[in-house]
Amino acid sequence: MVLKFYSGPYAAGGAGLVAMVLAELHIPFELMLLDMPNKAHKTPEYLAMNPFGLVPVIDDDGLILYESRAICRYLAEKYADQGPPLIPTDPKAKALFEQAASVEFANFFPPVVVMCTQTVFNPNLNRPVNEVALAQAKLDFAAKLDVYEAILSKQKYVAGNELTLADLFHLIFTPMLIGWGKLDVMADRGPNVTRWWKDITSRPTWVKLQEEGITKSVAA
């Protein structure tokens, strides 16, 4: 049974991340394209799969799974032999991966969410922009990237010298913030952060998704 991937057409947010992992691991899938402007993700049928009414969702032979990071972890473990090892198996390497993944979620992601809310979501919903919250998030984010610069001065990626999901998790909202929010928070950073960001955003799978959106052919 071919995996079903419920998403909008844009390679952004968590859906974009999952689409990238599907492509990296060469996993065939059927795109279940949702008419999100007409609230297809808020129907009773969809809410039965994801009670929060968000994308993405996958159906892998009857396993219904939501939350992009959880989906990516599942795919990386089940289909580990089909692409790059996105989750290490060595205990020490896996511990460093888990550490880096926690850092992304606890340190990098929170200010990105605030900035994305103020520059993308609020304007699209005709809500006022909280300039104070936005300014503080920019300061918080800059401080976090100073720490990233120090970490990445000693290794190629956030969990060591091999690419992992911990690196790709940083693509959930940041490109949306840069592209749709017109706030390039990754510009004019330290040389190691700049190198790392260019590395993960120039992967062929990500470039193709940005050019074509999410299609049935992405994983071909």
pLDDT score for 36:
87
pLDDT score for 216:
66
- Comparing CA positions, the residue from 175, 164, 220 lying closest to residue 202 is 175
* 6 secondary structure, DSSP code: E
| Sheet-wide strand order for 57-60 | 29-33, 3-7, 57-60, 63-66
- Asked whether 51 and 25 are in contact (CB, 8 A), the reply is no
Q: Which residues of the chain have pLDDT under 50?
A: 218-220
pLDDT score for 150:
99
pLDDT score for 217:
52
> For residue 53, is it left (φ>0), alpha (ψ between -120 and 50) or beta?
left
Condensed to tens digits (0 to 9), the pLDDT of residues 17-70 reads 999 999 999 999 999 999 988 899 999 999 999 999 999 999 999 999 999 999
Structure tokens given for 149: 């610069």
The phi and psi torsions of 218 (rounded to 5 degrees) equal -60, -40
Dist CA 27 CA 197 (whole Å) = 25
HSE-CB for 209 with a 13 A CA cutoff? 28
pLDDT score for 37:
87
Taking the model in full, what pTM does it have? 0.94
The phi and psi torsions of 29 (rounded to 5 degrees) equal -150, 160
pLDDT score for 68:
98
